[in-house]
Amino acid sequence: MAITLKTQAAEIEGMRIAGRLASEVLDMLTPHVKPGVSTEQLDQLAHNHIVNVQQGIPAPLNYQPPGYVPYPKSICTSINHQVCHGIPNAKPLKNGDIVNIDVTVIKDGWHGDTSRMFIVGEGSIAAKRLCALTYESMWKGIAKVKPGVRLGDIGHAIQVFTENQGFSIVREFCGHGIGAKFHEDPQVLHYGRPGTLETLVPGMIFTIEPMVNAGRREIRELGDGWTIVTKDRSLSAQWEHTVLVTENGYEVLTLSAGSPQPPAFVATV
Q: Over the stretch 36-46, which tens digit does the pLDDT of each residue have? A: 999 999 999 99
- Please write the tens of the pLDDT for every residue from 15-33: 999 999 999 999 999 999 9
Beta bridge partners of 187: 176
pTM of the entire predicted model: 0.97
Contact 262, 139 (CB under 8 A): yes
Give backbone dihedrals phi and psi of 153, rounded to 5 degrees, phi first.
Answer: -65, -40
Predicted pLDDT of residue 54: 98
Average pLDDT estimate for 65-86: 97
Strands 205-208 and 228-230: unpaired
Average pLDDT estimate for 234-261: 98
Domain architecture of the chain: domains with CATH:
9-252 (3.90.230.10)
- Please write the tens of the pLDDT for every residue from 96-129: 999 999 999 999 999 999 999 999 999 999 999 9
